[in-house]
Amino acid sequence: MDQLPALGISGALVLVIAYLLASNFRDRVQHERALAMHDAEHATELAQARAAHDADLAGLRARVAVLERRLGELETELDKERRRRRAAEDAAAQARRTQQ
């Protein structure tokens, strides 16, 4: 008879421990699922940000290419103007020499 209350308390403790372990396992599984969902959402957001960044870079690269081409054209025009100016200065110097 003395063992019956002891088994009842031991049994109750075993049940409480089993419940706590099961609850801990359920909580861990839920936490891992929440983390997995959060990671998936983060990966999606990161992919969208990368795609937007790549699109921005592509646009900027295209714009830089246009500006570099225009710069090349302006440098060519400047070189032509310098050649014309030197030719005009040489002609003016030649005209001054012939007048003297």
pLDDT value of position 1: 43
Q: What is the full per-residue pLDDT of the chain (100 aa) written as tens digits?
A: 455 455 678 888 888 899 999 999 999 999 999 999 999 999 999 999 999 999 999 999 999 999 999 999 999 999 999 999 999 999 999 999 888 7
- Long-range (24+ apart) CB contacts under 8 A made by 78-82 are none
Rounded to an integer, what distance in angstroms lies between the CA atom of residue 56 and that of residue 64?
Answer: 12
Rounded to an integer, what distance in angstroms lies between the CA atom of residue 100 and that of residue 95?
Answer: 9
CA distances from 42 to 29, 37, 67, 91 (A): 20, 8, 37, 72
